[in-house]
Amino acid sequence: MGVVTIGTQQDFEEKVLKSEQPVLVDFWAPWCGPCKMVGPELDAVAETYVGKAMVAKINVDDHQQLAGKYNVMGVPTLLIIKNGHEVERIVGYRPRKDISAALDAIL
């Protein structure tokens, strides 16, 4: 499926909170260097976990309300949301193996 871009609050509710699969949500910004580094890692994770978990991206500049709701203080911030609830948080750049380990722990 690849990485899903969240464009609206309704997208977030339907694609993330109501998802039957866990969702790795990347809160990012276009001006953020570490966000650009984690992008290819997330693309690879999305391909690896097809059918098991979804990866979604939210631009914090466009969705400040969502970032505030989830207490995102810096980018990149990765949240794993399962059954509508945050179950894991990773702040800052992490390599693919660390992201995969966090997903594996909740699958």
- The pLDDT assigned to 102 comes to 97
For residue 99, give the nearest of 78, 82, 75, 72 by alpha carbon. 78
Catalytic-labelled residue, pool 6, 16, 29, 35: 35
Catalytic residue check, 99: no
- Could you report the per-residue pLDDT of 29-41, keeping only the tens digit for each? 999 999 999 999 9
Catalytic residue check, 35: yes
Catalytic-labelled residue, pool 3, 11, 21, 32: 32
- The pLDDT assigned to 49 comes to 97
The mean predicted confidence, pLDDT, of the chain is 96
Q: Is it the case that residue 75 has pLDDT exceeding 80?
A: yes
Q: How far apart are CA 65 and CA 81, in angstroms?
A: 17
User: Domain extents for the chain?
Assistant: 3-106
Q: Is it the case that residue 91 has pLDDT exceeding 80?
A: yes
What's the CATH code, domain 3-106? 3.40.30.10
Banded model confidence at residue 2, pLDDT cuts 50, 70, 90: confident
